[in-house]
Amino acid sequence: MEESGSVDSVESLCSSTTTRSDRSSGPRVSDTELRSKAKAVEKVYKDPSKDELPLLPEELVQDSAKDVTYICPFIGPVRGSLTVTNYRLFFRCTDREPVFGLDLPLGGLSRVEKIGAASSRGDVSYGVVCKDMRNLRFVHKEPEDSLKKSVFEVLMKFAFPVSNNMSLFAFEYKQVFPENGWKVYDPLAEYKRQGLPNESWRISKVNDHYELCDSYPATLFVPVTITDEELRRVSSFRAKGRIPVLSWIHPESQAAVVRASQTMVGQNGRRCKEDEKLLQAIMDANAQSHKLFIFDARPSVNAAANKMKGGGFESEDAYQNAELVFLDIHNIHVMPTPETKLSLSIGNCIFIVIYFLFYLF
């Protein structure tokens, strides 16, 4: 079932990458501005001499079909043309006023699937599932030439370039920016903005060559009372070497958010005095705090089961003045289930609204 934002107005053609919520939250466009935009769009898409889709640099049209029907949940079937480039899917109506269309970057597509078999008239249905939970449906005729791929088969190829041994459009586009992207984020400048280093936190270069932890940045902030040698010993006690390091600090209260991986206590209840010292130093770094909260994102059952694999969690007996709290968030294999349920719920709600409006008018 399609989401309410499936079909965009003329305004969306001028700003195709924004959602309805983005547009409603931003500054309102006056009627005069909207009409001028509409005229500009109509000039581009209605003028026979300018019937082509405006393309980005290095964007190439891969295929197009002129007799495609979009099944709109609000106004019914809409006939038009469908164009697939190496960057986007673009549908433009040809039988309705005002001009409207769908402009979807291929990176926003989650799945393209054929729905059922061809009808007696040769019509084939395709479903396009988007990552923003839109579920679009198109109908078109099979090519007369059996060897020619349909526009949707071409779409499936370019929507998932990596799976088809092709490069992403971002590498083809080669957009030139006025600044070096690798220097947009400066970790030292960010920490300086937070008032660091100070008398409690220092910079550590122990991971300067990513040898301590390859998934951590090179610049780390740790308590001043902890040496780099102690950090190396802690890394052998934490999964994948992810030692407790500072992520954020409040500028006034000095309350800190520190991230780390699970401890490798195992079934035998292994301990690490350097790790215990580090957590105590983190608490001592805030003179106003007398308790350390350890939030473990896993369910307690999962954390206990990880002891069988050599992992585990912090013991409140080993870590003084610490309180362990499990957040009961399941692993990544379970988390997509709520998203699927939400997507189905959105579809059902839209169907109810359409059904109600149909009988209201």
Tell me if 198 is assigned to a ligand binding site: no
Joined tokens for residue 309: 């694999």
The answer to the question of whether 309 is labelled as a binding residue is yes
Q: Is 226 annotated as a binding residue?
A: no
Is 268 assigned to a binding site? no
Structure tokens at 54: 């405006």
308 is in an annotated binding site: yes
- Among candidates 203, 284, 288, which has minimal Cα distance to 246? 203
Contact predicate 184/205, CB 8 Å = no
What whole-number distance in Å separates Cα of residue 140 and Cα of residue 266?
A: 59
Could you tell me which residues come within 8 angstroms of residue 57 by beta carbon, excluding any fewer than 6 positions away?
Answer: 173, 174, 175
Cis peptide before 98 (omega within 30 of 0): yes
Q: Which class for 13: exposed (0-12), middle (13-18), buried (19 or more C-beta within 10 A)?
A: buried
Taking Cα atoms as reference points, which of 227, 213, 212, 206 lies closest to residue 277? 227
Q: Flag whether 307 is marked binding.
A: yes
- Say if CB 202 and CB 221 are below 8 A apart: yes
Annotated binding site: 306-309, 331-332
Q: Which residues are annotated as a binding site for substrate?
A: 306-309, 331-332
